[in-house]
Amino acid sequence: MIEYLIFAVFAGLLLHGIHRKAIARIQGRPGPPVWQEILHVLKFSFKETWIPWTASRTLFVAVVFIAIGIWSAALVVLLTGESLLLLFGIYMLHKIVEHGLGLSSGSPYGKFGAIRSVMSAASEIPLFATIAAVYLVTHSLMISDILAWQTANGPLLIAVPPAAAALYIVVLAKMHYSPFAVIESKEIVSGNMTEHFGVWRAGLDVAFGLKTFVLLYAFILLFIGPIPLLAAAVAMLILLLSLSFICATTPMLSPFDTVTIQIGAAGLIVVYILIMGAIL
């Protein structure tokens, strides 16, 4: 199990590096090497580390452990084919991490990031719509059952494309440099992560690398189905590059527009689910 976690950490950080490289190339810049995010983690872990005087010490440190822990748990849920609701619950816990990061620091920039995180709770609504649509079609929320359904009936991407679009928006919302990434917008320095430096930032980068790997892999498993590892890696890469393209060409939205678009998208999918429910 630990071997899968270590693999996912490095793969997730590599995906972050590819994301940055792709964005840079689309914007006509050379960009950093693809392994830059792995080097970042090493760099941060060698930096001097302490806890700011104004921080809430317990929360400031605990939130790093929680971030790594929940995304490790999410990977285990995916690999063991457990319930999609567990994945949804972990995604909710990530919200607490986002709040905790900013609020524990005592920095006004961190607190702005945390408040924006509360506002951007709208990004969870499309995830709820995804789960409802998947349940309506497959009659199960167990990932193993969903995979078995796809083996028998073909990819859910074809059966319920709006549900896939909803999860795509969820994944996009959590990517670095996303148009929805208002919690780490540059006008508030690094947002809710501003005061976490040194080993704390290295730990957070590991957690967010895991998160990216889990979300991309979850998308592939839920909407394309059980495919060989190499094919899954290629599919994850294509998915990531499509996200990178959006991130590179779309400016960061204002918090108001972020919420409006996410709720709007979720609303359309809810209408689709209601119609689908009436037909089925």
Residues that bind other proteins (CB under 8 A): 1-3, 5, 44-49, 64-69, 72-73, 76, 80, 198-199, 202-203, 206
Give min distance, CB of 231 to other proteins, in A: 25
Select 45 or 140, whichever has its Cβ closest to other proteins: 45
Give CA–CA dist 176/180, Å, rounded.
9
Give CA–CA dist 176/182, Å, rounded.
10
Select 69 or 226, whichever has its Cβ closest to other proteins: 69
Give min distance, CB of 2 to other proteins, in A: 4
Give min distance, CB of 194 to other proteins, in A: 19
Alpha-helical (H) ranges within 47-106 are 57-80, 84-105
Are residues 235 and 227 in contact, defined by beta-carbon separation less than 8 angstroms? yes
Select 79 or 261, whichever has its Cβ closest to other proteins: 79
Give min distance, CB of 45 to other proteins, in A: 4
Q: Which of 55, 4, 1, 9 is nearest to 204 (CA)?
A: 9
Give min distance, CB of 278 to other proteins, in A: 39
Select 45 or 161, whichever has its Cβ closest to other proteins: 45
| Three-state secondary-structure class, residue 212 | helix
Give the position of tokens 């919420």: 259
Give CA–CA dist 14/70, Å, rounded.
20
Select 48 or 187, whichever has its Cβ closest to other proteins: 48
Q: What is the residue type of 6?
A: I
Give CA–CA dist 97/70, Å, rounded.
9
